[in-house]
Amino acid sequence: MTQEEQPTLHSRRSLTLRFDIPISRTREFWDALGEGRFVTTRCSACGNVSFPPQADCPRCMSDRFEWVDLGREAKLVTYTYVQVTPASFVNDDPYIVAIGEFENGVKVLAWLLGVSLEKAKVGMKLTVEARRSNEGNPYYVFVPSPPS
Amino acid sequence: MNRVAIVGAGHSKFGRRKDVNVAELAFESIKQAVTDAGIDRKEIKNVVVGSAGGWYEESLPAVIVNEYAGLRSVGTMRVEAACASGSAAVKAAHDSVATGESDLALAVGVEKMTEVDTMTSVELIGRAGSYMWEFENYGMTFPAYYALYAVSHMNRFKTTEEDMARVAVKAHHYGSLNPNAQFQKEITVEKVLASQVVAWPLKLYDACPLTDGSAAVVLANEEVARRLTDTPVWIKGIGYSSDSANLSKRDDYLGLTASVEAGRRAYQIAKVTPRQVDVATCHDCFTIAEIMAYEDLGFCEKGDGAKLVREGQTEVGGRIPVNLDGGLKAKGHPIGATGVSMMVEITKQLRGEAGSNRQAPIKNGIGLVHNVGGTGHYAYVTILSRGEQ
């Protein structure tokens, strides 16, 4: 008998997991994104800039912080083209995921839209843009910067 | 601190194991390890189980496994360090013996990844990073994380898709010589290059499979080890480290900083240099990962990893044979079992029991286990030795 022919008990119980993720301490990030601005946290005590934004400073542990604008321009550091997508992305076409670096050194991971895999190149200029999901949640993507 | 030795080793057949549940699968290795050690199970007071879980029905694998194996009233826990959970289990068991808390301890690694459908497994591994910032909106997958490193490595060091394919060909060659390996067939560079892209530039044959499997080792202090066996394999040093959850926080994508740091610590504790290592298992969840591991562990200079595999230096007869069991790529990668499986492999290599076609020449009596969790999120390097050094 092959492994695939072995008898198994297909369990009667199924489990769907959907999380309510708290965003209260850094909700300005999502609010700003909804207005088309891309911001993150800077510690008011030591000046450390964090991305993803976080309310407590990982360098000095202070909980005092301010919001700083990251601007819109980044440079492509590395990327991949995800052809085999996870179960919950079954309705999405394959996508490019990129890491872009902003002028102040902050790096961000996001989809890179509007460019084919063949045209994507390490070092190319990217612009971050705000988007909204079908469910109404704000998120952000990179697109190639227009030629200057 | 007591010296600690591996005195018993057990290993299940890896693959799609529809014939056994998680406890039965773990028991295959436990029985072998206990028999190999020649001990009475009742002497074991501490059992550490490495398992990431989520893809099989049980939530408390440690007690499920122990009950089935008749290990009652033992001190126990399940540990998680992603794909390095097995090494973490060995470290926890090691520490209980080293401190004198236990004379004998058992480390078990077990995973059953094929009880859910393949795309759900892909999803669960893809969530092994920073869920909120990498998965929720961007659907990262395990190959995609390593592909970010592969693109950077190719761009900086001119590593090619053919170089990566050579790692897979080597893995399948040795897998074909290991009866416990999931894949038993040789492949060619052409076949790797023609396989389906999963996350460019990584293709199906650059990637380890989803695997069910288990492995176990019995650890003993020096007095017990000498009573039990003439061939104890000593744990000379364990180095471990970690890195940021978000890949965007990494300095670069050319190597795994956690591996470098874990290796540095392990070499220092064991008083061993990379040149003295006779045989190693490196964490090759993807072909690029093995190339980076050569560099991160000091088997070659940074950027020369591809050259090492091109020259055959990591095969039997080369400078430093790596993954003579087929590696994660061909032997299979049952997440929590992998680290323990690597310990079993290096124990067999150092005892000279690996089998004629895949036995490394042992000159210095030193073996190395390199086990990474996630995408360099965790890293463990364990140095093992035969003899008195």
Tens of pLDDT, residue by residue over B317-351, are 999 999 999 999 999 999 999 999 999 999 999 99
- The identity of residue B211, as a single letter, is T
Q: Do B132 and A3 touch (CB under 8 A)?
A: no
- The identity of residue B375, as a single letter, is T
pLDDT score for B107: 98
Query: How close is the nearest chain A Cα to the Cα of B47, in Å?
Result: 29
| Closest CB to B248 among A79, A89, A107 | A107
Query: How close is the nearest chain A Cα to the Cα of B201, in Å?
Result: 7
Tens of pLDDT, residue by residue over B50-100, are 999 999 999 999 999 999 999 999 999 999 999 999 999 999 999 999 999
A120 interfacial to chain B (CB closer than 8 Å)? no
- The identity of residue B190, as a single letter, is E
Measure CA A23 to chain center.
15
- Is residue B241 over pLDDT 60? yes
- Is residue B279 over pLDDT 60? yes
Can you read off the two tokens belonging to residue A17? 């997991």
- The answer to whether B148 and B291 are in contact (CB under 8 A) is no
Residues of B with CB under 8 A from a CB of A: 15-19, 57, 117, 119-120, 122-123, 126, 130, 132-141, 143-144, 147-152, 155, 196-202, 246-250, 253
Q: At what angle do helices B142-157 and B287-296 cross, to 10 degrees?
A: 60
Q: Which residues in chain B are closer than 8 Å to A97, comparing Cβ atoms?
A: 138-140, 144, 148
- Is residue A71 over pLDDT 70? yes
- Is residue B44 over pLDDT 60? yes
Nearest CA in chain B to A107: B248
| Closest CB to A86 among B57, B122, B253 | B122
Length of chain B in terms of residues written: 389
Clarify whether B83 is annotated catalytic.
Answer: yes
pLDDT score for A147: 82
Q: How confident is the model at residue B387 (pLDDT cuts 50, 70, 90)?
A: confident
Distance from C-alpha of B316 to C-alpha of B358, rounded to nearest angstrom: 7
CB atoms within 10 A of CB A145: 15
A93 interfacial to chain B (CB closer than 8 Å)? no
Clarify whether B11 is annotated catalytic.
Answer: no
The percent of residues above 90 in pLDDT, for chain B, comes to 97
Token pair 């499920």 is at which residue? Answer: B64
| Closest CB to A109 among B126, B133, B149 | B133
A84 interfacial to chain B (CB closer than 8 Å)? yes
Burial B323-341 (b: 16+ CB within 10 A, else e): bbbbbbbbbbbbbbbbbbb
Secondary structure of chain A: what % helix, strand, coil (to 5)?
Answer: 15, 35, 50
Q: Is B159 exposed, middle or buried (0-12, 13-18, 19+ CB in 10 A)?
A: buried
Q: What pTM value is reported for the model?
A: 0.97
State the catalytic residue, choosing from B172, B333, B370, B377: B333
pLDDT score for B356: 81
Could you please report the per-residue DSSP string of B112-126? E-SSS-HHHHHHHHH
Q: Do B247 and A99 touch (CB under 8 A)?
A: yes
Provide mean pLDDT across the span B274-298.
98
Q: Do B140 and A82 touch (CB under 8 A)?
A: yes
Distance from C-alpha of A30 to C-alpha of B90, rounded to nearest angstrom: 43
- Is residue A108 over pLDDT 70? yes
- Is residue B388 over pLDDT 90? no
pLDDT score for B78: 98
pLDDT score for A101: 98
- Rounded-to-10 torsion of CA B173, B51, B131, B140: 10
State the catalytic residue, choosing from B83, B208, B282, B285: B83
Distance from C-alpha of B136 to C-alpha of A109, rounded to nearest angstrom: 12
The percent of residues above 90 in pLDDT, for chain A, comes to 92
Which of B248, B251, B252 has the highest number of chain A CBs within 10 A, making it the mutation to test binding with A?
Answer: B248
pLDDT score for B153: 98
Tens of pLDDT, residue by residue over A3-25, are 999 999 999 999 899 999 999 99
- The answer to whether B114 and B17 are in contact (CB under 8 A) is yes
Nearest CA in chain B to A53: B133
The ipTM, to two decimals, is 0.96
- Average pLDDT for chain B: 97
Tens of pLDDT, residue by residue over A32-47, are 999 999 999 999 999 9
Query: How close is the nearest chain B Cα to the Cα of A95, in Å?
Result: 8
